[in-house]
Structure 1
């Protein structure tokens, strides 16, 4: 029997008035996140990501829709919902710049109802796990942007919330910090069975950490799948690059023309590139090269990245919208929607 989701979002709608026009920020957005699950929210600027997260936090009044935490409407128990939620929205704005990391963490733990002794114990644990020990007694305003971001995340997580909302958590972090963040957040969710909803433009981060990905476009959910399922649906092809000795003979080039290889000659070698989902093409092409006496020096195979899949999904949706507009109105053009609602 399926358990109740930690977070359940149903039919979110929000429009803003801009220059006298009503512009949609989110349109009938719905999804859920279960305990122990990390779900990524992707979308271009203006897609509704920040509006959605603010609605979940109760910071944005909706035109319609419901947000449930552990099955309960957050509007009927706002204080309880806030104590069960930890959020970092739009950077590190939820910390006090003139307090130290430890002072910030203890302060926010107190706001969530933790006793001071327990708050200090948890603060020390977070300081250690986030490698902030060298900066524990410095004012946050003196820290790097990356370390400020880590302090903000520590403040959001100190009360061990059931629901974690992170908006661009890798903002300002260097490569080593991001690598550590991936491992730490995955470990945290697995241990605490929290539900984590995260937005990010860092596709490698999303791909490495998320169980599922939700793609928003112009305020609507256009895709919701695991990364593997997205790859199967939208990017089943692979890119093959072959490096062979010498220039291709005329007979070999002629035999290869039935396949869409892109051939580049560089000095004493040739490079062949092809994106396909048909492995038979590769095996047939290797046989043609062998028959022509060409020695294969190297073969490289790559799958599409999550960024490739994301862009493909957006383009597919855009083309669908354009097609619908032509069908309905007989001319080009796309229905106007929110394009500056959020700035991440």
Structure 2
């Protein structure tokens, strides 16, 4: 299977200027500026196969959006190699943009004051889509995203959820083989998110559309992507399957105890001192959660139940969101 995206030792550096303090400092800044080089993306390499749905995740400032902007040709890399759909995004710009769709959750590609369908018609001409191709493809898109009633409304009168569904449809007018989604579900309610996820799965299955998704909503990743690429301070710290990530770093359980009376953390620490347990206070009164390895689970429950009066016990798997948070907090590089 061919690669939709090939990235090799990709780097993007920015100059960050700092002002000197005081009037003399301001005067000196007129002639010489203090600056330092910041590497937003630091020599990353990865490939994405045609038809893959990949989650590209990381904390704020990790370099996700900078990467997307280089892959789409908006930014020019400082160094490294980028091939997307067999082309260099910066050198073959006009031809290249015909093969991608982009949705930025916080930016709009629709014209604010005209009806949605007029924006669609303008984009149809920009991408030189024939009437027949537009009709065949967009009828399905409009119906699946349930935006028919919105087509005659100006974009400025749409809610955020309505606008994001229209933005997604606009990115697909020319039925591109590759779709970049940067925070597409930010601020959306659950029902709209579910609708968008279902639609993305459909176009992936129907057209073999490759999707690169950046998001802070881990449930989006779990619903859509089998593979994740994790970025931290401009470097890739994990590239592999979501299941493997859970298997390697998510081993363990969370046991939530609701005690009948107040219990101090020090008491719980002493009680389970020889076991692999971390205690965490719950949001509700007299609730404590034990993060414990599977081998020590029965011992923890046995000791706690034998010593304290318990009102309730819940046993949960460690969530993907918590696994990812733990990886970032520990600052460990995983291969």
Match of residue 103, structure 1, among 110, 118, 122: 118
1:73 aligns to what SS in structure 2?
coil
1:135 maps to: 150
User: What are structure 2's unaligned runs of at least 5 residues?
Assistant: 18-34
Instruction: Give the stretch that moved more between structures: 3-12 or 105-114.
Output: 105-114
Given the alignment of the two structures, is residue 53 of structure 1 paired with residue 51 of structure 2, yes or no? no
Alpha-carbon distance between aligned partners in 1 of 2:313 and 2:298, rounded to the nearest angstrom: 12
Contact 2:113 2:156 in 1 (8 A): yes
Partner of 1:275: 291
Q: Give 1:37's aligned residue.
A: 52
Query: 1:247 and 1:52, CA in 2 relative to 1: closer, same or farther beyond 3 A?
Result: closer
Matching residue of 1:5: 3
Counterpart mapping for 1:1-344 below 5 A: 3-19=1-17, 20-242=35-257, 258-259=274-275, 260=277, 273-277=289-293, 279-285=294-300, 299-317=313-331
Q: Quote the offset at 1:23 in angstroms.
A: 1.4
* TM-score (normalizing by structure 2): 0.80
- Structure 2 CA distance for aligned equivalents of residues 280 and 47 of structure 1: 35
**1:120-176 per-position Cα deviation (integer Å, ceiling 9, x unaligned):** 443332222111122121111111122112111111112221110011100232111
Q: Post-superposition, which runs of at least 4 consecutive aligned residues in structure 1 deviate over 6 A?
A: 244-248, 253-257, 293-297
1:41 and 1:255 map into 2 onto residues whose CA distance is: 41
Q: CA RMSD in A?
A: 3.1
How far does residue 295 in structure 1 lie from its aligned partner after superposition?
Answer: 9.5
| Number of residue pairs matched by the alignment | 308
CA distance in 1, matches of 2:260, 2:106: 52
Moved more, 57-66 or 69-78: 69-78
Q: How far 1:236 moved relative to its partner? A: 1.4
Equivalent pair of 2:14/2:39 in contact (CA under 8 Å): yes
Q: 2 CA distance for matches of 1:243 and 1:183?
A: 38
Structure 1 CA distance for aligned equivalents of residues 262 and 188 of structure 2:
46
Deviation digits for residues 1-41 of structure 1 (CA, Å, limit 9, x no counterpart) = xx221111111111111112221111112212112211111
Against the structure 1 CA distance between its residues 190 and 258, is the aligned structure 2 distance closer, same or farther, given a 3 Å change threshold? same
Query: Which structure would you say has the larger RCO, counting Cα contacts within 8 Å and 6 or more residues apart?
Result: 1
Residue 21 of structure 2: aligned partner: none
Distance 2:107 2:318 in 1: 32
